[in-house]
Structure 1
Amino acid sequence: MSLQYEEIGQRLRAFRLGSGLSAEEVAKRIGISRTALYRFEKGEVVKIETLTSLADLLGVSLATLLGVEIEYLSNAVTYFERLRQLEETADRIVVLAGPISFLLASERFAAMLEEILRETVAEDMPGRDKALADIARIIAILAERKEIYARRRPAIVNLISAVDVERMVRSGFAGRTFVREHVIAERRALARAELAHFASIIEAEPIGVQIGLVPGTLPHTGFQIFRAGDRKTLSISPFRLGEQPNVSLGVAMITSTQEAVTLHERVVDELWRRALKGKEAAAHMREIIAAAEGEGR
């Protein structure tokens, strides 16, 4: 097997960020310099023995660090950092990770997201400090992803479930069930504004953005497909942002195996065939918003 050291370095950085350990701590524990670790993260050749030590320290398998068939990621920080890395080179991204694509989301939503995610961390939660620190890291990574998208503008196909949209306008963006009534009202208003933002994108038909509104539900586990030249990479994840967010528990997977990518592309093709598009999709989305407003929610 030919080792791709640049990709190994990207995974190494992602898992280090997810561990919460600084570069200094990692380097000290395995007996190398911080400079050497940074060089490894940038793609310099590294001995397999050193990679084994790094994998053991970071709590991942050597196969995952090497990217052999499937990467398993049990930390949301690691997962979102890997997405950021994939987006650095992607020329096309397919998103079925609901209910909306963060890259296309409004600045207002992005500004509120940290507060929403912090609500998911209970006051008496074991490991609360680390959970809050992880959320801060996630927000920083998401900001970088936004910047990368604004700079590179890869094509995006975003499939959205009409059922998810209906639920979102009624429940709003909330990190937990029991929040004050005025907060619920604010979050419902935010959800409606965000969906109106997506309806406006659909109506504007910007170059490189395709949004389909699928009647019914999407697969419960979200996935994305990144194309960079002739290479395609699939990410499958339980982590969610916004409505019913989850950045605490789950195992995501990333793979470039042809069978996995092809099977998920077939799902995309079928859902895109069923989806409402263009003015029809925007009109239906606005009808859902209006119905929720008419109910006084």
Structure 2
Amino acid sequence: MAFRYDEIGNRLKAYRLGSGLSADEIAHKLGISRTALYRFEKGELAKIETLERLADLLGVSIPSLLGVGIEYIPSAVTYFERMRQIEETAEHLMVLSGPISFLLASDNFEATLEEVLTENVTKNVVNRERALADIPKIMQILRERKAMYRRRRPNIVNLMSAMEIERFLHHGLIGRSGLPEDVVAQRKALARAEIEHFANLLEEPPIGVQIGIVTDTLPHSGFQLFRQPDRKILVLSPFRLGGEPNVRVGVAMITSAPDALSFHEAAIDEMWGRALKGQAAANLVRHLLANKGRPLDEEDYAEFRQQAKKGPRGKPALM
């Protein structure tokens, strides 16, 4: 198979950022200059022996570094950097998210997120110092992703779970339990403001944005499908932002395997077909806001599902 050296360089950079080692430290351990390392990250050809030593140092397999088969990512820093890299050339994004999709989130959400992620790293967390050091890196990458999305404006289909929105409104934008009451009240207000933001997006969607609200079960692990000019990429991830965040534990996967792509495209097609869209979805979200996070009963959801049947079904426009 033909290797794409620019993408090997991208992976190398992402794994370096997630390793906790600086460019100087890696260059010193390999006996090369920092400039040489940066050239590798820009796609300059490296000897296989050098790649093997790099892979060993960064704790990644050679197949993952080369993009052979499934790419496994155990670090949230690496994962978000890989998302940023893939989004640089993606024309279409299909996102299955929790209560919040970061690229469409408000600036107020982003402003509070670092504090939320920090409080999620409790005192008993293993390697707590490293976990705390990763958060500013994650935030920097997220800011770069958001800026790039707003600059490029690729088409995006975002599927959200009504039940997760319920929980988000009930608990608020928090990183852990046991926070002071005044903080919890403030975070619940922030959660309400964020869901209000998405209700507005549903009523007046920006060009290229399609949002669907699914009223029943969604997969617990999020996934994203990216369509680039020459291929499609599937990303599955345990990492999540917003309510009940996780940027510490799990393994994300990236693949372009045909079966994986077709199965997940079919899943998106099926979920989109039963999702509420447009005003019907906005009505549900505003009902959830009025209910202040209290769970709706099945009869309530059945009524909104009936509305969905009257609206457009089919596939999202970019599939």
TM-score tier, shorter chain, comes to: over 0.9
Aligned residue for 2:35, secondary structure, equals: helix
Aligned residue for 2:276, secondary structure, equals: coil
Q: Does 1:179 align with 2:179?
A: yes
- State TM-score, norm by structure 1: 0.97
* In structure 2, distance between residues paired with 1:138 and 1:269: 31
Q: Does 1:263 align with 2:263?
A: yes
Letter in 2 for 1:45: L
Aligned to 1:202: 202
Aligned to 1:122: 122
- State TM-score, norm by structure 2: 0.90
Between stretches 128-137 and 101-110, larger displacement belongs to: 128-137
Runs of at least 4 residues of structure 1 off by over 4 A? none
Q: Deviations over 1:216-257 (max 9, x none)?
A: 121011000111113110100000101000001000001111
Q: Deviations over 1:86-121 (max 9, x none)?
A: 111101100102122100000000000000000111
Deviation at residue 293 of structure 1 after TM alignment: 7.2
Deviation at residue 294 of structure 1 after TM alignment: 8.8
Superposed, which structure 2 residues align to 1:147-186 within 5 Å?
A: 147-186=147-186
Deviation at residue 182 of structure 1 after TM alignment: 1.0
* In structure 1, distance between residues paired with 2:125 and 2:239: 19
Aligned residue for 1:292, secondary structure, equals: coil
* In structure 2, distance between residues paired with 1:293 and 1:76: 29
Aligned residue for 2:291, secondary structure, equals: helix
Q: Does 1:24 align with 2:10?
A: no
* In structure 1, distance between residues paired with 2:169 and 2:140: 27
Deviation at residue 123 of structure 1 after TM alignment: 2.5
2:175/2:243 contact within 8 Å kept: yes
Q: Deviations over 1:65-96 (max 9, x none)?
A: 00111100000000000000011110110010
2:166/2:294 contact within 8 Å kept: no
Q: Does 1:236 align with 2:273?
A: no
Deviation at residue 168 of structure 1 after TM alignment: 0.9
Aligned to 2:191: 191
Deviation at residue 124 of structure 1 after TM alignment: 4.0
Letter in 2 for 1:258: P
2:161/2:216 contact within 8 Å kept: yes
* In structure 1, distance between residues paired with 2:127 and 2:220: 28
* In structure 2, distance between residues paired with 1:3 and 1:51: 13
1:164/1:217 contact within 8 Å kept: no
Aligned to 2:316: none
Aligned to 2:273: 273
* In structure 2, distance between residues paired with 1:69 and 1:27: 28
Aligned to 2:285: 285
CA RMSD of aligned residues (A): 1.2
Aligned residue for 1:119, secondary structure, equals: helix
Letter in 1 for 2:178: F
Deviation at residue 191 of structure 1 after TM alignment: 0.8
* In structure 2, distance between residues paired with 1:143 and 1:104: 12
* In structure 2, distance between residues paired with 1:48 and 1:293: 55
Aligned to 1:248: 248
* In structure 2, distance between residues paired with 1:258 and 1:38: 33
Between stretches 115-124 and 87-96, larger displacement belongs to: 115-124
- Structure 1 segments unaligned to the other structure (5+ residues): none
Aligned to 1:10: 10
Deviation at residue 2 of structure 1 after TM alignment: 1.4
Aligned to 1:98: 98
1:162/1:217 contact within 8 Å kept: no
* In structure 2, distance between residues paired with 1:151 and 1:15: 26
* In structure 2, distance between residues paired with 1:17 and 1:70: 20
* In structure 2, distance between residues paired with 1:240 and 1:98: 8
* In structure 1, distance between residues paired with 2:207 and 2:142: 23
Letter in 2 for 1:38: Y
2:19/2:58 contact within 8 Å kept: yes
* In structure 2, distance between residues paired with 1:97 and 1:275: 14
User: Percent of pairs identical after alignment?
Assistant: 60
Deviation at residue 138 of structure 1 after TM alignment: 0.2
Q: How many residues align?
A: 295
Aligned to 2:314: none
2:118/2:175 contact within 8 Å kept: yes
